Amino acid sequence: MGTFLTEWQAELKRTLTGSPDALPDWSRKFAQGDDPGYFLPGSAVWAVHGGVATIVGGIRSLLMQTLHPAVLAGVHDHSNFREDTLGRLARTTAWIHALTYGSTAEAQAATGRVGRLHESVNGEYVDGGGNVRQYSANDPELLRWVHITFTDSFLRAHELWGGPIPGGPDAYVREWAQAGRLMGVEFPPESKAALNRELGEWLGGGTLRCDERVAETVAFIRNPPLHPLLKPGYRVLFEAAVLSLEPGYRRLLGLRTARLGPLPLPVRAAARVTLAVVRSALGPASPSQLAARERLQRLGVT
């Protein structure tokens, strides 16, 4: 039993951080720097991003992002997401943590790396009207879609499975708007109401669509190449992501809330238990938070 738990814990940490001891090299950088960074302990961003509900939020945001044909074209044409799923997850986690816990210089450097990667991500896609259009990963429209789906997904997952948010949901949307601005999003939403308004406009705007390529990508997200020890828990968290979607987006994706046999699967409760187990395995504080607190203590910031 002990060997099983040790292996499961190591695979969980490797999947989420790229390192079996949950101490990836990039987290050590957050102890360095000469300023407090964009966010501090006690902020809404630290509260949301420090919780394990972000796992559900990450799955949810991927599902939503597949609905934009240009975003999906960029993923299929320019990434090896099928062959390097865990590597891409670890790199995304590193960017999120750099902005959340790093110094201003580290956050800007991480954002710059993402922007440079985006420079080569361009091509063509067919829109809903059958017209061939050009896309670039640095297009303001695509950056905006990715930003609002990320913000909405992490917020919604935390509302369902996390704790209180200092300042409430509006504070998180307002604070994380800084990440959008760093990535080139002009006037990102700064309240939950503004975020919901934009999501409604996207849903009814005619740009988003579900086709065969979307269905294939969703099927991959449902069953990624994880270690067998992680698959039962992932199934619960995937269904939690589906449950957390607004009904309009769930219908557009062709997804239904889970059922187990003749009775509905209590997804919300099952996800809460699964996330509690994950939290226990990872420990009460992430290495990124600990490194950031080390920097802040050195700077005399409380």
Give the lowest-confidence range in 82-86, 264-268, 296-300.
Answer: 82-86
Average pLDDT estimate for 7-21: 74
Q: Above 70 in pLDDT, residue 298?
A: yes
In a domain, 281, yes or no: yes
In a domain, 300, yes or no: no
pLDDT band at 261 (very low <50, low <70, confident <90, very high): very low
Tens of pLDDT, residues 183-201: 999 999 999 999 999 999 9
**Mean of the per-residue pLDDT values of the chain:** 89
Q: Give the number of other CB atoms < 10 A from CB of residue 92.
A: 15
Q: Estimate the crossing angle of helix 267-282 against helix 2-17, to 10 degrees.
A: 90
In a domain, 244, yes or no: yes
CA–CA dist 103, 34 (Å, integer): 7
> Whole-angstrom distance between the N-terminal and C-terminal Cα of the chain?
42
In a domain, 283, yes or no: yes
Per-residue model confidence (pLDDT) at position 165: 98
Tens of pLDDT, residues 152-177: 999 999 999 999 999 999 999 999 99
Per-residue model confidence (pLDDT) at position 12: 81
In a domain, 106, yes or no: yes
In a domain, 6, yes or no: no
Per-residue model confidence (pLDDT) at position 8: 79
CA–CA dist 3, 9 (Å, integer): 10
Average pLDDT estimate for 99-115: 95
Per-residue model confidence (pLDDT) at position 152: 98
Per-residue model confidence (pLDDT) at position 82: 66
Per-residue model confidence (pLDDT) at position 22: 54
In a domain, 288, yes or no: yes
Give the lowest-confidence range in 17-21, 119-123, 174-178.
Answer: 17-21
Tens of pLDDT, residues 48-105: 999 999 999 999 999 999 999 999 988 878 776 666 666 667 778 889 999 999 999 9
**Into how many domains does the chain fold?**
1
In a domain, 301, yes or no: no
Q: Give me the domain span that covers residue 103.
A: 11-294
Q: Above 70 in pLDDT, residue 265?
A: no
Tokens of 165: 């948010």
Instruction: Report the DSSP pairing between strands 132-136 and 122-126.
Output: antiparallel
CA–CA dist 83, 165 (Å, integer): 36
Residue with the bigger pLDDT between 237 and 121: it is 237
The SS3 of residue 232 is helix
Per-residue model confidence (pLDDT) at position 83: 60
Q: Above 60 in pLDDT, residue 262?
A: no
